Amino acid sequence: MNHIFGPVPSRRLGYSLGVDLVVHKTCTFDCLYCECGPTTSLTIERKEYVPFDELADELGETFKDPPERLDYVTLSGSGEPCLNTRMGDVLELLRSISPAKVAVLTNSSLLTDPEVRRELGLAHVVAPSLDTAVPETFNLINRPHPSLSLGAMVKGLVEFRRGFGGEIRLEVLLVKGVNDSPGELERLARQIELIRPDTVDVNTAFRPGAARLKPLTQEELESAARGLGPLARPVGSFCGDGSLKLTGFLEKRVVALISRRPCTLDELAESLAAGEKEVREVLKDLEKRGVLKTQDQKDGRFYSIVV
């Protein structure tokens, strides 16, 4: 499986099977906090980055024997999924074969395009992100493709809300000292009122990202969420029940997961329904081969793949 990973223990979506529609690391942004590392292809060009037939084959295989516990199938991964021109076809296929709901994580940049809005309309849940309402901060934190404008992006979000009957979970990611001042939060709260999402998940950069950043403390996160209005809530820790049962080649699945998202040993063991000892062995082996990267953070030791 080259384009399917997980299920990932997602703090917002429970057990979520990831489907990657682009190649590493293709995005319209180069966010300071990106868990996938620096963007190597900063683009706004939509095309079939991953062939639809390949994805359809992998999805068909996966859903012949789906994971026992699956809350969502989520388009996400090594970049911006809306860049793939076959996103609508993938969503249609998933709606017909997946027992779980279908979600899309997007950075909102391409919602200016009516065709992207139409395709996203096929998902049950769309989780667009918006970290700031201030253009200078947008350039600082999201480092967008030069042709993108924050104002147009917010208009696209408002337009999408008008036509979408599913759930919109707006995500705001806060970085200490960058986009968490009272003035920043007040301006963002006004934009959120215009966008009218169903919920606002307020998160902080707690995983290793492209740059070393300071996360907010739990108290600061809660206070910031209050500043963003009644729909906003701080995102809690993932809490799974460990009931997931999967079969498969562990090393390949560990690599598929940590090459897209840094994880702790606990997260890997739980997500992949494997014993800690087995996962530790796989990690040791990857370390010996020089492809494992470790970073110690407040929430534990995170493992990723050297890119």
Q: Residue numbers of the site for ligand SF4 (CB under 6 A)?
A: 27, 29-31, 34, 36, 39, 79-80, 107
223 vs 295, which CB is nearer to ligand SF4? 295
Minimum CB separation of residue 27 from ligand SF4 in Å reads 3
Buried b (16+ CB within 10 A) or exposed e, 151-183: eebbebbeebbeeeebebbbbbbbbeebbbeee
34 vs 272, which CB is nearer to ligand SF4? 34
5 vs 63, which CB is nearer to ligand SF4? 5
173 vs 192, which CB is nearer to ligand SF4? 173
31 vs 225, which CB is nearer to ligand SF4? 31
Minimum CB separation of residue 96 from ligand SF4 in Å reads 27
Minimum CB separation of residue 23 from ligand SF4 in Å reads 12
Minimum CB separation of residue 221 from ligand SF4 in Å reads 18
30 vs 270, which CB is nearer to ligand SF4? 30
67 vs 144, which CB is nearer to ligand SF4? 144
Q: How far is CA 62 from the centre of its chain?
A: 21
Give yes or no for a contact between 218 and 204, defined as CB atoms under 8 angstroms apart.
no
15 vs 29, which CB is nearer to ligand SF4? 29
Minimum CB separation of residue 68 from ligand SF4 in Å reads 29
Q: In sequence order, what are the residues at sequence separation of 6 or more whose Cβ sits closer than 8 angstroms to the Cβ of residue 95?
A: 102, 122
Minimum CB separation of residue 236 from ligand SF4 in Å reads 20
Interatomic CA distance for residues 292 and 307, integer angstroms: 10
Minimum CB separation of residue 25 from ligand SF4 in Å reads 7
Structure tokens that stand for 122 in this block? 């096929």
Minimum CB separation of residue 262 from ligand SF4 in Å reads 12
Structure tokens that stand for 168 in this block? 């919109």
Interatomic CA distance for residues 149 and 29, integer angstroms: 12
Please identify which residue in the block is written with the tokens 């370390």. 287
